[in-house]
Amino acid sequence: MSRRIPLVDAALAPGDTPEPIADPRRLAVWAGIAGLFAVVASAMGSWIPSLWGDEAASLMSATRPLPSLVHMLSYVDAVHGLYYVGLHAWIEVFGSSAFSIRFPSALAIGVCVAAVVWMCGRFGSLRFAVLAGLFAAILPRLIFAGEEARSYAMTAALAAVLCAILVEIGRREGRALGGWIAYSAVLTVGIWLFLYVALMVPALVVIVLCSAPLRRRWRAAAVSTGAALVLASPLAWFGFLQRRQIAFLAVRESITPEVVLRDMWFQEWWFAAIAWALILVAAIYFVREAMRIRRSGAPLGMRLETFALSWMVLPMGLLIAASPFVSGYTARYGTFSAPAVAIMMALGVRRLARLPRRRLGVALAAVSVAAVVAAAVPVAALQRGPYAKNGSDWNDISAYISANAQPGDGIVFDDGARPSQRTRLAKETDPHAFRNTRDLLLRTHYPDSYTWYDQSYGIPRAAGMGRFDGVDRVWVVELKFEGVEDTWGLAPLQQLGYHETQRHDGAGSVILLYER
């Protein structure tokens, strides 16, 4: 039998009326409805943006034969191995279109939002729970993760489920053996999906120690958490061995106030300003109430703010603090903490609605909700533009080559860029569009390579091998990043007697036709 701990009353100022806890049956229904809304919101327009480097790594890894995938994971990307295996199975059934490979992430955001609604409904009214779910469904970081073929959406879902399980354990008398087994299993899978989910552990420790119903079971929490860490330890070892793979992050993305306060969860300043205002309202009121309760000598109990603040601040705070010593930060790593951000925003709205001047408070709360929704719409639209993924225009490259290449044409891709930016990936993610061309520089196709991308020759070496013999027309696809065009292959082609006869400027590339 479950018991209800007075989770809300302790948060009220003297004279306030306790908020009713959501009925579990209605809560379950609305959690499902909110989850479906989140799936639709994330999947809507997800087929529009071109795939980009990280998604190419997902697609090209997942489409390899399994023995080839296992071989690759022994060299690179072991920390994403479980996701690649799952995506491999998904593609076998549903195909490899952009919409198809991104849709599992939309489903994961649906699970995440449903877990947020359920969890918040155990601390407040159904209306409050649905509001928290709405904020999670439209939060820029989560709705972005829901349209990307990477594991980040899954980690957000598992983090939300993990915290919801802890809430249920805290609400029940007895040992809750099944709950602790579920907790350990979810934490294990989360870490295997993305190694940095292990940073949830410090947050979970704080949650357990600061919540009286869980603190009484600290031994069970310690054993369950320890078991998960032991089961995930092989991945940590592989991650350590392959740490050089992400060393470039140290120079690519500096940790600045802009990166932390805007990019990590909100993308645009207009959304960030509203969100941080609501978060600060919730945090300030919580600190005041916690101090008041402590002075009264009453136990603080299990509080939603404890969950949300620990979950939001500690994982990414620790990663940011370690960044001068460990090269491994990018804003998307904050995805698994993003549900806590949505919960804090909803708590801020609830605090406003409880201001002593009730009419003013309710009006401010309503305006805040409207502002969040209004701010989220243009962000979601920007995320679904054709070049929203790091400026990638691979769809345009594929369409242009498909329409203009003639049978027997050669093609040369800019291989001077980082592997995840190479224009060659347009061909590997849409090979049919390049059916009339011959890849003159290809050395080892990615399924036969030890890494996720193709290995290639330089133009002089390929020419010496006779690759250009009898080829009178060569398409050259150069990278254009932030307005700067590469000229990687132009001089060697001119030395071979080719000259430019056609040019097409794209959003992230330049396509040239060179003829003898």
**Displacement of CA 104 from its chain's centroid (Å):** 12
In a domain, 9, yes or no: no
Does residue 432 share a domain with residue 368? no
Task: Assess contact for 438 and 478: CB atoms under 8 A.
Answer: no
d(CA 120, CA 140): 20
d(CA 135, CA 439): 47
d(CA 129, CA 304): 11
Does residue 436 share a domain with residue 341? no
- ∠ CA 35-279-261, rounded to 5°: 95
Give the position of tokens 């209800």.
4
Task: Assess contact for 145 and 152: CB atoms under 8 A.
Answer: yes
Could you give the number of structural domains in the chain?
Answer: 2
Candidates 476, 479, 463, 481; CA nearest to 502 is 476
Instruction: Identify the pLDDT of residue 300.
Output: 77
Task: Assess contact for 357 and 370: CB atoms under 8 A.
Answer: no
Tell me the CB-side half-sphere exposure of residue 463, using CA atoms within 13 A.
Answer: 13
pLDDT averaged over 10-residue windows placed end to end, the chain, 516 residues:
40 51 93 98 96 96 94 89 96 96 98 98 95 98 97 97 96 88 97 94 96 92 97 86 56 76 94 97 94 82 94 94 74 94 98 92 96 96 94 96 96 91 95 96 93 94 96 96 90 95 95 96
Task: Assess contact for 91 and 101: CB atoms under 8 A.
Answer: yes
d(CA 24, CA 18): 18
Sign of the alpha-carbon dihedral angle for 104, 107, 113, 117:
negative
Select from 341, 361, 383 the last residue of a domain. 383
Tell me the CB-side half-sphere exposure of residue 165, using CA atoms within 13 A.
Answer: 22
In a domain, 123, yes or no: yes
In a domain, 172, yes or no: yes
Task: Assess contact for 92 and 104: CB atoms under 8 A.
Answer: no
Q: Show Cβ contacts of residue 251 under 8 Å, excluding neighbours closer than 6 positions.
A: none
In a domain, 3, yes or no: no
Does residue 429 share a domain with residue 346? no
Instruction: Identify the pLDDT of residue 9.
Output: 36
d(CA 31, CA 129): 8
Instruction: Identify the pLDDT of residue 1.
Output: 33
Instruction: Identify the pLDDT of residue 242.
Output: 66
In a domain, 223, yes or no: yes
Phi, psi for residue 484 in degrees, rounded to 5 = -100, 125
**First-to-last CA distance in the chain?**
82
In a domain, 28, yes or no: yes
Does residue 459 share a domain with residue 481? yes
Query: What single-letter DSSP state applies at residue 447?
Result: G
Does residue 481 share a domain with residue 406? yes
Alpha helices in 172-303 (DSSP H): 177-193, 200-210, 212-215, 218-241, 249-252, 257-258, 269-296
d(CA 313, CA 392): 32
Q: Which domain holds residue 150?
A: 22-383
In a domain, 11, yes or no: no
Task: Assess contact for 187 and 225: CB atoms under 8 A.
Answer: yes
Residue 259, judged by CB atoms within 10 A of its CB (0-12, 13-18, 19+), counts as: middle
d(CA 513, CA 500): 6
Instruction: Identify the pLDDT of residue 311.
Output: 97
Does residue 374 share a domain with residue 413? no
Does residue 173 share a domain with residue 281? yes
Helix axes 98-121, 24-43, angle to 10 degrees: 150
Task: Assess contact for 267 and 143: CB atoms under 8 A.
Answer: no
Select from 351, 383, 415 the last residue of a domain. 383
Does residue 411 share a domain with residue 265? no
Select from 363, 383, 403 the last residue of a domain. 383
Does residue 429 share a domain with residue 361? no
Does residue 182 share a domain with residue 77? yes
Instruction: Identify the pLDDT of residue 75.
Output: 87
Amino acid at 514: Y
Does residue 274 share a domain with residue 408? no
Does residue 401 share a domain with residue 304? no
In a domain, 6, yes or no: no
